[in-house]
Amino acid sequence: MFFLNFVFRNIFRAKLRSTLTIVGLVIAILAFGLLQTVVRAWYAGADAASATRLITRSAISLTFSMPVYYRDKIRATPGVTSVSVSNWFGGIYKEPKNFFAQFAVDASTYFPMYPEFVFEPEQYQAFLRDRQGAAIGQQLADLYGFKVGDTVPLKSGIYPGNWEFVVRAIYAAKDETTITRQMYFHYDYLNEQLKRTAPRRGDLAGVFVVSINDGQAAPDISRAIDAEFKNSLAETLTETEKAFTLGFVAMVETIVVAIEGVSYVVILIIMAVAANTMAMTARERLSEYATLKALGFKPGAVAAMIIAEAFLLAILGAGIGMLMTPLVVQGFHALTVSVFAKMPLVAQTFYLQAACAVAVGLVAGVVPAVRAARVKIVDGLRHVA
């Protein structure tokens, strides 16, 4: 108890310096936690992907479509339990800034594959009956204030014209890992309109969502599907839902890696600041350390005091930063809700913050501690701070 009290009093002998160092640590730990959470938010969709769902797309690019009759051939593949069509719509709601994901799907086969989307039975049936109906995720409804019965006008750069949809269902998430910021409407409605206005664009599918009975067999089933369309005019590439989602993340992977790198750079900078603080402290107290040695304190005890000071300084700063992290993440998410549907703050982030605090304390304290432990009593007593 005496040892800790002694260390604590030593920390705040230079109040301004110690306070500024702690503030720097708080900011660094907060920034590290926030940036790590942002990186995790990019991968939120991939983490929630199912092992029993595959995505079949054009082998050339996502921008190329496939004949819709591929659906029947894919369904006949051994191991496949269901197939559904999904087309990216790319519409804008009122203003260009109001952009969110919209998909034209074969609703009767699509939603049974996604048990993580929870519907009110009456709303789901109303959605199935209305050709012009739309199903809106709860997060999206909260963001734009959509209610059942509302008309949602969209303008798409992919499918020209003015499109209107009626909200017939608002689905919720099965658990907190599910993202519900999408809008779904009927593929048949889109297809019928295209057959009238642009016949060549009718009966085409952007991707096929494939449900399989065994996730372990995904590689074999994927190869079987792609072999079916080998050397055709529209060859396919089939991959797991997670791999498909990670493909989108890979498009901005450089940015994600840069963000993660910056989070560690912040910690390296605060390491240097804390190390400088402890070095200055140790240099000013050389005569005191020499006095302690003259009174009978072992070099190891003197070194332990300095390392304890560094660790306590790091723990104070990191502790405050970790306590504030949930509030900062929540505030940041409120500002970026149109970009990030989920901002998952997980236990691993706090473990990393704690590890960074230990690293800062160790780096800041070791060199001054070794120097103080090695100083000779005579040399130390001659030192004038």
- For the chain (385 residues), the mean pLDDT of every run of 10, in chain order, is 63 74 85 84 67 89 89 92 92 84 92 92 94 93 91 88 91 83 93 86 90 90 92 89 75 71 82 74 63 65 74 84 89 71 79 86 75 62 54
**Enclosing domain of residue 38:** 2-44+253-382
Closest listed residue to residue 168, CA positions, set 139, 146, 191, 190: 146
Strand 66-67 relative to strand 204-205, pairing: antiparallel
pLDDT at 385 (0 to 100): 46
Distance of CA 254 to the CA centre of its chain: 15
pLDDT at 362 (0 to 100): 80
pLDDT at 286 (0 to 100): 59
State how many domains the chain has: 2
DSSP conformation letters of 84-128: EEEEE--EE-SSTT-B-EEEEE-HHHHGGG-TTEE--HHHHHHHH
Q: How far apart are the first and last CA of the chain?
A: 28
Is the same domain home to 81 and 216?
yes
C-alpha separations of 106 from 39, 152, 162, 209 in Å: 33, 20, 21, 10
Q: Is residue 11 part of a domain?
A: yes
Q: Is residue 195 part of a domain?
A: yes
Q: Is residue 78 part of a domain?
A: yes
227 phi-psi bin (left φ>0, alpha ψ -120 to 50, beta other): alpha
Closest listed residue to residue 266, CA positions, set 367, 356, 368: 356
Is the same domain home to 198 and 319?
no
pLDDT at 255 (0 to 100): 73
Interatomic CA distance for residues 59 and 131, integer angstroms: 31
Is the same domain home to 282 and 333?
yes
What are residue 240's DSSP bridge partners? Answer: 54
Q: Is residue 49 part of a domain?
A: no
Q: Is residue 125 part of a domain?
A: yes
Q: Is residue 259 part of a domain?
A: yes
pTM over 0.85: no
Residue 79 — φ and ψ, nearest 5°?
A: 95, -15
SS3 of 233, please?
A: coil
pLDDT at 127 (0 to 100): 95
Please report which helix (H) or strand (E) contains residue 354, including its range. helix 347-374
pLDDT at 291 (0 to 100): 65
Is the same domain home to 227 and 105?
yes
Is the same domain home to 198 and 264?
no
14 burial (CB, 10 Å; 0-12 / 13-18 / 19+) is: middle
Q: Is residue 30 part of a domain?
A: yes
Is the same domain home to 121 and 97?
yes
Is the same domain home to 108 and 229?
yes
Q: Is residue 136 part of a domain?
A: yes
Is the same domain home to 126 and 177?
yes
List, in order, residues 6 or more apart from 14 with CB less than 8 Å away. Answer: 281
Interatomic CA distance for residues 48 and 35, integer angstroms: 20
What are residue 135's DSSP bridge partners? Answer: 169, 184
- In the DSSP assignment, the letter for residue 215 is G
Is the same domain home to 224 and 267?
no
Residue 24 — φ and ψ, nearest 5°?
A: -60, -40
List, in order, residues 6 or more apart from 58 with CB less than 8 Å away. Answer: 64, 65, 66, 234, 235, 236, 237
Is the same domain home to 262 and 302?
yes
Is the same domain home to 101 and 201?
yes
pLDDT at 227 (0 to 100): 92
pLDDT at 104 (0 to 100): 94
Is the same domain home to 186 and 265?
no
